[in-house]
Structure 1
Amino acid sequence: MISWLMLAQAIALAVIGAAVAIVGLARKPFNDWVFAGAAIALLSLVVQTIASVIAPLLGAGPTGDLLEYWTYLITALLIPPAAVLWALVDKKGEWSTLVVGVGILACAVMVYRMHQIWFVQVA
């Protein structure tokens, strides 16, 4: 696993999530920019998934629990589409944009935790 990639991803997701959450707190409706933020979050998680499959094959496996890592990763992959689905169903609602922002922030926290599982813990 690439340490700088995971940390850069966590920071980028935190910035995107915070920006979308601020837009949501301003009660702006769900729009293409919010959707783009969620799409970028999902794309970065797909890249992370590909890297997570390749790294153990090259001998760079996690030092922590592999099941816990994959549970975090799969859950993080489900959050952006679920948040966007919520926002599309509740498009005229006041909180749909905030839900997407909080979902992206949750992904940032999960990526940081995945970094801890992969690099810090000793099995």
Structure 2
Amino acid sequence: MLVALTVTVSVAALVLAAWCGFAAYRDQPTKDWHFIGMAVVTVLALVQLVVGIVQLARGEEPAESSVIFVSYLIGAFAAVPAAGFLSLSERTRWGSVTVSAGAVLLAVLEVRLYDIWGG
């Protein structure tokens, strides 16, 4: 898997986590700008999902099971959108905390994806 893409997704997720964490610190709910940031991170995760599946289709194999690898790819893709939808139902600072936690979860999943691929 592409290491540069994994690092890019991780850094973008951590920037989003810090941004939403700062909003929570200031007692603000998620705003439109936060949702644009979530969209950018989600598109990066989608690109990673497509690249991972294409590499599997080309015959490249992860160090661990392919099923586990695809499961982590799907989970990484769904982490930030799920947190974004949850933040819509909680229009207080806790919505920002939820998005921040989802973005940190995505960064952790990226580390695990790197390990599963054989990094």
Provide TM-score, normalisation by structure 1: 0.86
Q: Contact (CA 8 Å) 2:20, 2:30: kept in 1 or not?
A: no
User: Gaps (5+ residues) in structure 2?
Assistant: none
- Greater relative contact order: 1 or 2 (C-alpha under 8 angstroms, separation 6 or more)? 1
Which residues in structure 2 correspond to 1:103-114 (within 5 Å)? 103-114=102-113
2 CA distance for matches of 1:30 and 1:6?
Answer: 26
Q: Does residue 70 in structure 1 map to residue 70 in structure 2?
A: yes
Moved over 4 A (4+): none
Percent identity over the alignment?
Answer: 26
Aligned length: 119
Deviation at 1:15, TM superposition (A): 2.0
Provide TM-score, normalisation by structure 2: 0.88
1 CA distance for matches of 2:22 and 2:29?
Answer: 12
User: Gaps (5+ residues) in structure 1?
Assistant: none
Which residue identity is paired with 2:21? A
Which residues in structure 2 correspond to 1:22-101 (within 5 Å)? 22-91=22-91, 93-101=92-100
Instruction: Report the aligned-residue RMSD.
Output: 1.5
Q: Contact (CA 8 Å) 2:29, 2:95: kept in 1 or not?
A: yes
Partner-residue secondary structure (3-state), 1:95:
helix
1 CA distance for matches of 2:116 and 2:25?
Answer: 32
